């Protein structure tokens, strides 16, 4: 166990916070009827698909991906809600315009519309040279002001790029160098609230660039020095929306650090149960939600008492894949995807009764089967009752030397099958051999689905 993780656990134990000092909830029951499916983009992610003439593209994308499985790696709405940004295995960032009927709130479910009308090409395709680690919208983005329409991304063995969201052109490059004076790639990127600074996560440090000054000039804030602090690769970043100047760093070394954006001062290091892959502050900045890889929970920390875990929200995410979750604009509802393709919406303002006491805790409001493969990305629209989801996962082809596991027993040693990422039980089924489903979808959340008095969830 890492030194800082042990210290965090020891401090938590001393302050009375332990594995059993906070509530762990269990949401039982199968996925039910979900909201209306309004739109789906799928053909763009088919290997070898060529976009129509006129689509903005930076350069030619890779013609093929391993095993012809171009799975998605999350999705993010633009701050003004006009378009959706996706990342996929072919190292292409795609920007899809939100259809006018969805913006006007007059769309019908896609079951009543031809697939050709709801599966449109991406407006912009931004091709990176290697695996995309992270990407972020400019926080003040507004489609009516083209100067603000830009996206930052970081990829393996490449510097940080700032892309024009209208044309896909490269606007600026931000480069960091290691002790050998070689370019080192950031593992995470995040803009400050005012959009003037770009925070980038590296191993044992965070580098801060001014977006108005491209190049190698930056400030370096160490997260681990003299065997103290937060050790490891900074895998994700989040800035508190309350304008307090606090930002959080998640590390693959099972820790979360809270820092001052104005100088990099470390406030606290929180111990987590797994490598952190996603962070999200509540709108008022008092709560921090943390999700990790190979972890079936989302932990909720009270950053006002920085060693306190309020509760855990369960989800099915026993995979190394980054599984996103999101909060709506009010902070009341949290949406998360599951490894089996389900999506859940959680009411974080609900209460539950335990031992004749009314305690704060989450209650599952809605759950449905959204995709046939891992629902790795979810994102609430900034101001419309829409939820975007993305799906897909890495599938490995393995040679079948023993046909005993096959249902029909008719396979031979020359046949092959596919095994999904994160499958640890060694079992195979006929569904895994079906062609992978890789798509981004938009769901309409009816305002009537919110119950005024949600049913209490048993502890």
- In eight-state DSSP terms, residue 233 is B
Taking the C-alpha atoms of residue 248 and residue 37, their distance in angstroms, rounded to an integer, is: 34
- CA nearest neighbour of 326 among 387, 373, 364, 378: 378
CA 245 to chain centre: 23
What is the model's pLDDT at position 452?
37
The set of residues, in sequence order, having a beta carbon less than 8 Å from that of 118 and lying 6+ positions away, is 39, 40, 110
- In eight-state DSSP terms, residue 42 is -
Taking the C-alpha atoms of residue 274 and residue 252, their distance in angstroms, rounded to an integer, is: 7
- CA nearest neighbour of 277 among 231, 330, 319, 338: 319
- Phi, psi for residue 5 in degrees, rounded to 5: -70, -45
Taking the C-alpha atoms of residue 82 and residue 102, their distance in angstroms, rounded to an integer, is: 10
CA 266 to chain centre: 25
CA 437 to chain centre: 19
What is the model's pLDDT at position 263?
84
Per-residue pLDDT of the chain (459 residues; tens, 9 = 90+): 444 444 444 444 443 333 434 444 444 444 556 788 989 999 999 877 777 655 566 565 554 565 568 899 999 999 999 999 999 999 999 999 999 888 876 655 455 555 556 678 899 999 999 999 999 999 999 999 999 999 999 999 999 999 999 999 999 999 999 989 999 999 999 999 999 999 999 999 999 999 999 999 999 999 998 889 999 999 999 999 998 899 999 999 999 999 998 888 999 999 999 999 999 999 999 999 999 999 999 999 999 876 788 889 999 999 999 999 999 999 999 999 999 999 999 999 886 655 555 556 688 888 999 998 999 999 999 989 999 999 999 877 665 455 443 333 333 333 444 555 554 444 444 344 445 579 999 999 875 444 333 333 333
Instruction: Say which residue the tokens 């995040």 belong to.
Output: 190
- In eight-state DSSP terms, residue 59 is S
Entry pTM: 0.82
The set of residues, in sequence order, having a beta carbon less than 8 Å from that of 284 and lying 6+ positions away, is 241, 242, 331
Question: Are 259 and 247 spatial neighbours (Cβ–Cβ below 8 Å)?
Answer: yes
Taking the C-alpha atoms of residue 399 and residue 417, their distance in angstroms, rounded to an integer, is: 7
Question: Are 340 and 326 spatial neighbours (Cβ–Cβ below 8 Å)?
Answer: no
Question: Are 3 and 9 spatial neighbours (Cβ–Cβ below 8 Å)?
Answer: no
Taking the C-alpha atoms of residue 245 and residue 194, their distance in angstroms, rounded to an integer, is: 11
């Amino acid at each position: 166990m890492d030194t800082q993780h042990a210290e965090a656990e020891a401090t938590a134990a001393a302050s009375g916070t332990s594995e059993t000092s906070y509530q762990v909830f269990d949401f039982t029951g199968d996925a039910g009827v979900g909201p209306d499916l309004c739109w789906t983009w799928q053909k763009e992610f088919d290997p070898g698909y060529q976009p129509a003439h006129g689509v903005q593209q930076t350069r030619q994308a890779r013609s093929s991906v391993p095993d012809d499985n171009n799975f998605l790696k999350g999705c993010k709405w633009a701050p003004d809600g006009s378009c959706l940004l996706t990342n996929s295995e072919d190292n292409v960032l795609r920007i899809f315009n939100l259809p006018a009927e969805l913006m006007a709130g007059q769309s019908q479910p896609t079951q009543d519309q031809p697939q050709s009308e709801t599966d449109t090409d991406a407006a912009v395709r931004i091709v990176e040279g290697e695996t995309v680690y992270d990407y972020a919208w400019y926080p003040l983005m507004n489609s009516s002001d083209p100067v603000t329409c830009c996206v930052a991304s970081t990829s393996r063995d490449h510097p940080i790029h700032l892309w024009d969201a209208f044309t896909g052109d490269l606007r600026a490059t931000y480069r960091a160098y290691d002790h050998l004076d070689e370019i080192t790639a950031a593992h995470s990127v995040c803009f400050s609230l005012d959009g003037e600074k770009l925070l980038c996560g590296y191993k044992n440090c965070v580098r801060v660039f001014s977006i108005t000054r491209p190049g190698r000039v930056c400030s370096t804030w160490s997260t681990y020095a003299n065997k103290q602090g937060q050790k490891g690769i900074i895998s994700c970043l989040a800035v508190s929306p309350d304008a307090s100047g606090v930002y959080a760093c998640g590390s693959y070394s099972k820790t979360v650090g809270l820092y001052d954006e104005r100088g990099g001062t470390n406030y606290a290091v929180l111990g987590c149960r797994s490598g952190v892959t996603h962070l999200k502050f509540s709108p008022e900045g008092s709560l921090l939600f943390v999700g990790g890889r190979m972890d079936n929970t989302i932990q909720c920390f009270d950053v006002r008492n920085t060693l306190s875990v309020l509760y855990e929200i369960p989800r099915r995410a026993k995979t190394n894949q980054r599984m996103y979750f999101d909060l709506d604009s009010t902070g009341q509802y949290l949406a998360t995807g599951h490894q089996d393709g389900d999506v859940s919406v959680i009411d974080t303002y609900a209460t539950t009764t335990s031992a004749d006491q009314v305690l704060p805790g989450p209650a599952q409001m809605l759950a449905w089967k959204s995709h046939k493969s891992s629902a790795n990305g979810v994102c609430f629209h900034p101001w419309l009752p829409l939820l975007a989801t993305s799906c897909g996962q890495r599938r490995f082809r393995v040679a079948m030397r023993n046909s005993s596991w096959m249902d029909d027993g008719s396979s031979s040693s020359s046949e092959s099958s596919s095994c999904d990422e994160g499958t640890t039980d060694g079992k195979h089924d006929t569904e895994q051999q079906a062609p992978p489903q890789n798509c981004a979808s938009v769901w309409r959340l009816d305002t009537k689905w919110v119950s005024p008095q949600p049913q209490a969830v048993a502890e």
